[in-house]
Amino acid sequence: MNMWHFLLTNLLNGIIGILLLIAGYKLFDWATPKWDFYEAFTKHPVAGSVVIGSFILGLSAIICSAAF
């Protein structure tokens, strides 16, 4: 396996992972229509950040474990 094949494979896996993360976030946004992100971050910035950060971290772990 040459170096260019290795780099291209890693780049492709990174792009797929980012696209899956964006799709998961959009699905979460669609599944929770009553939860207003703007209100959560303006009235309760720490709580909103913890919820979104935890969601993204958990979804990233799921995508990583599924990829390997």
pLDDT of residue 23: 92
In the block, residue with structure tokens 């309760």: 44
Mean pLDDT of 24-31: 87
Mean pLDDT of 34-62: 84
Could you tell me the residue ranges of all domains in the chain? 3-67
Mean pLDDT of 32-56: 83
Record the pTM: 0.70
Distance linking the first and last C-alpha atoms of the chain = 19
Which amino acid is located at 7 in the chain?
L
- The Cα–Cα gap between 36 and 29 comes to 9
Answer for the pair 49, 57: CB distance below 8 angstroms, yes or no.
no
pLDDT of residue 68: 62
Tokens representing 65 are 């474990």
Answer for the pair 65, 54: CB distance below 8 angstroms, yes or no.
no
Is residue 67 scored above 70 in pLDDT?
Answer: no
